[in-house]
Structure 1
């Protein structure tokens, strides 16, 4: 009996390992963590309910790189174009919790990495004045240029934190962070709601 049970457990372990390797699940890599909190983090720490599988994989919001000329389609940007995480694109009537920030002030953006990659850069975009937080994010809603670019020229990130000056804004806005990977066709996307 003991031998059969041991064989069964070994077989289950091999099957589980094979399944994990084939699905590529949990290969996530990073998301914005604090002090400006991303939607991924709000879901993972259960501040926001009804988030779907992002609760277990906040680091996995990966989509095609090349934003804004390429990358996820409008309306799917916060989920990186990944339908598994579509809850991140739902504006929830503009009710996502927002981090309080001050326009014109220095702001740190801290990332939580589960894997580091050769990196082209990190880019931080913000919505235009008149942004409607009850609508899905589109390119037209974002300022055309990032307010902060942190180049890495193919090197892995050495720092978990980037510092820049926030644009002068009022009201509720959304910051889109894009981490572009140098040696794959993908980037990681993180949306953070802020209140100026």
Structure 2
């Protein structure tokens, strides 16, 4: 039995549009993940680690096991110190180069995606241990192909869509504003939370669909519920 399953109802809260009805107790060195737009790992945990609903989440479990989903708030590098590109290889951005989370790096076009459009956006980062630090969120460039491994060159690193230093955590979330770029179709938002009181940094990948053209709504899972606007491709590849 995964070591966190018994604690899966330890943290309970409600939030619209994202409703995290029950979150697993955090490992000692784990502190959070993007909640809105929902990250891959948070979405897959919401679907149920033992039997995810979407084909992409099932594939992630097949590749890396269920424990990665129970450790949803632990995609981190303890000694990052801002050296993100040096430490994380291309193709391993969503796992931050961590073998446990390798299933999140799968290159496929059917990851559940949050509907989005260009313009202002309010980001909500689920945090289980608040720390001083800076959040930066980057969008993929025009022409991004989700069916290919994500590389640093796919991200517009010169123009973060959001940046916030020391936001205040309220009701378990850091909330900060940003501006989504003019994009079409499926894109990805890559979030980096670099602590200022430690070299530790946290990472997450959130799939978004500009225009919301994909079909097939992901059904709510027992704990926590996925973002209601998250969708998956109508005919995903298992």
Question: What TM-score comes out, normalization by structure 2 length?
Answer: 0.65
Unpaired runs of 5+ residues, structure 1, are 1-23
Query: In structure 2, how many angstroms separate the alpha carbons of the residues matched to 1:97 and 1:139?
Result: 21
Q: What corresponds to 2:13 in structure 1?
A: none
Aligned to 1:29: 31
Q: Residue deviations 1:65-108, cap 9 Å, x none? A: 425543311111111111111011112x21101111011x2111
Shift of 1:118: 2.5
Which deviations, in whole Å up to 9, do the C-alpha atoms of 1:35-86 show, x marking residues without a partner? x110011111125324322210110000234255433111111111111110
Partner of 2:113: 98
Give the secondary-structure state (helix, strand or coil) at the position aligned to 1:94.
coil
Instruction: For residue 32 of structure 1, give the secondary structure of its aligned residue in structure 2.
Output: strand
Which residue of 2 is the match for residue 60 of structure 1? 74
Matches within 5 A, 1:34-113: 34=36, 36-46=37-47, 47=53, 48-49=57-58, 50-51=60-61, 52=65, 53-63=67-77, 64-66=80-82, 68-91=84-107, 93-103=108-118, 105-113=119-127
Tell me the C-alpha RMSD between the 2 structures.
1.8
Contact 2:194 2:201 in 1 (8 A): yes
Question: Does 2:142 align with 1:141?
Answer: no
Q: How far apart are the structure 2 equivalents of 1:96 and 1:65?
A: 30
Structure 1 residues 188 and 194 mapped into 2: Cα distance closer, same or farther (>3 Å)? Answer: same
1:184 to 195, 198, 207: 198
Instruction: Give the TM-score normalised by structure 1.
Output: 0.78
Q: How many residues align?
A: 165
Please state whether the residue corresponding to 2:124 is helix, strand or coil.
Answer: strand
Q: State the structure with more CA Rg.
A: 1
